[in-house]
Amino acid sequence: MSEPHLLPLLGAPPQERRDAARNRERLLDAAKELVEQVGAHAVTMDAVASAAGVGKGTLFRRFESREGLMAAVLDHSETEWQARVMSGPPPLGPGADAWDRLLAFGRTRLETTLLHAELIREAGRSGARASGAYSFAATHVRYLLSQLGVSGDVPLLAVAILAPLELPILEQVSLDGFPVDRFYDGWVDLVGRIVTPPGAAART
Amino acid sequence: MSEPHLLPLLGAPPQERRDAARNRERLLDAAKELVEQVGAHAVTMDAVASAAGVGKGTLFRRFESREGLMAAVLDHSETEWQARVMSGPPPLGPGADAWDRLLAFGRTRLETTLLHAELIREAGRSGARASGAYSFAATHVRYLLSQLGVSGDVPLLAVAILAPLELPILEQVSLDGFPVDRFYDGWVDLVGRIVTPPGAAART
DNA sequence: GATCAAAACGGACCGCAGTCCGTTTTCTAT
DNA sequence: ATAGAAAACGGACTGCGGTCCGTTTTGATC
């Protein structure tokens, strides 16, 4: 006669225990705090654990690795941008035409990448960019490209459009000594060439 | 009366002492050997030092860091490719027209990047890609673009052409599940769009 | 409210990158 | 050949990321 006391909630991950949830929060808060105070590069796992008043083992069980922790911190920050893209005001959000949205996307993407540069670097490839944030961006660009009626291998063109805005590329470039401002203009030119099929009229 | 015994050789780095040079070579050989045997990710600095019969301090003085060492190993491998580009047979080397050279460049660049993927990853950004190899590639592409009479911000277009061939991008992409083969075709399409100005005739 | 298995905890412990500093080698000058 | 300073050497040492495992907490069951 006894059934599991709470709704089985089909297929959902077994539900996190209360202490686990509490500690996850403490750890994330402590991490964000420390990142802000001393910079991501100087944050040690021991420091985070003890600032959160939690054992080191727990920290690693929750976040897998240092990179994983940084990715979690980063993810939190980037979620806000994703929201702006999906449901914020135009031209970034819905409502403007696809071309203008694409340009706004590029500009803000560049800005957030630079803003979170250190965190992105520390998150390494385990991180947000690889899974969450990057595939969101890719999906969005693919969508805009299809709206623009771009022909060809749209997924790959999306990659090409995003690539120059990724941190590793930006880092290599600025070593070659580019002013960042010029970068956006160059990117717009690039996108124009990709979007406008050969033989069509030029774009403004 | 006594002058420095050997030609002062204007401005040249003070010349490496003989033991230093010998040890550098031993270390590099040991490193290459170990990388080959167990894979770059499993090579420890202690292992390299003791395989070379040299102290750890020496290893770090010569190569700065683990990443620096990996970069040195990588550099050695990539030099051969650079030579093919600059003076090998066409279409990669000089002799073919710029468009064909550009395509050959892209294909071989993609190949070598994938071939050396592990080393590139281990070399991190301290490495060859950042300084040596990357700027070589960028310079070459700029040159080919100008040969093709491309208008616009050539240095930036070169960045855009190279970016999708860089490892971090390739890694993100194949997570999205692209077959690698398709990639080259997509890249050719991209380059075509960049090189062919809007309104001009399409390319073969 | 008592019982019990599963899950989470925490800190001692390990391996490796990178530093430090007393010792040895090399090279120049005489 | 010899002396002396500069440069290179090497291995003990430190700090940090990550693991392991005996102990504690949770929450479902009766």
Concatenating the DSSP letter of every residue in A49-113 gives HHHHT--HHHHHHHHSSHHHHHHHHHHHHHHHHHHHHHHSSTTTSBTB-HHHHHHHHHHHHHHHH
At a CB cut-off of 8 Å and minimum separation 6, what does B73 contact? B28, B31, B32, B35, B40, B119
Residue A35 CA to residue A76 CA, distance in Å, equals: 13
Given a contact cutoff of 8 angstroms between Cβ atoms, the answer to whether B93 and B84 are in contact is yes
Residue B114, pLDDT score: 93
Per-residue confidence in pLDDT tens, chain A, 204 aa: 334 444 444 555 568 899 999 999 999 999 999 999 999 999 999 999 999 999 999 999 999 999 999 999 999 888 999 999 999 999 999 999 999 999 999 999 999 999 999 999 999 886 555 567 788 999 999 999 999 999 999 999 999 999 999 999 998 887 677 788 889 999 999 999 999 865 555 555
Given a contact cutoff of 8 angstroms between Cβ atoms, the answer to whether B194 and B151 are in contact is no
The list of chain B residues with pLDDT below 50 reads: 1-9
Residue A203, pLDDT score: 53
DSSP B151: -
Residue B141, pLDDT score: 97
Strand C nucleotides, any atom under 7 Å to a protein CB = 7-12, 15-21, 25-30
Residue A133, pLDDT score: 75
Residue A128, pLDDT score: 52
Å between CA of B21 and C1' of C30 = 28
Å between CA of B55 and C1' of D13 = 14
Query: Which chain B residues touch A if contact means CB-CB below 8 Å?
Result: 125, 129-131, 134-135, 138, 152-153, 155-157, 159-160, 163-164, 166, 168-169, 171-173, 175-176, 178, 182-183, 185-187, 189-190, 192-194, 196-202
Residue A156, pLDDT score: 94
Q: What does the pLDDT look like over B92-137, one tens digit per residue?
A: 999 999 999 999 999 999 999 999 999 999 998 865 555 677 889 9
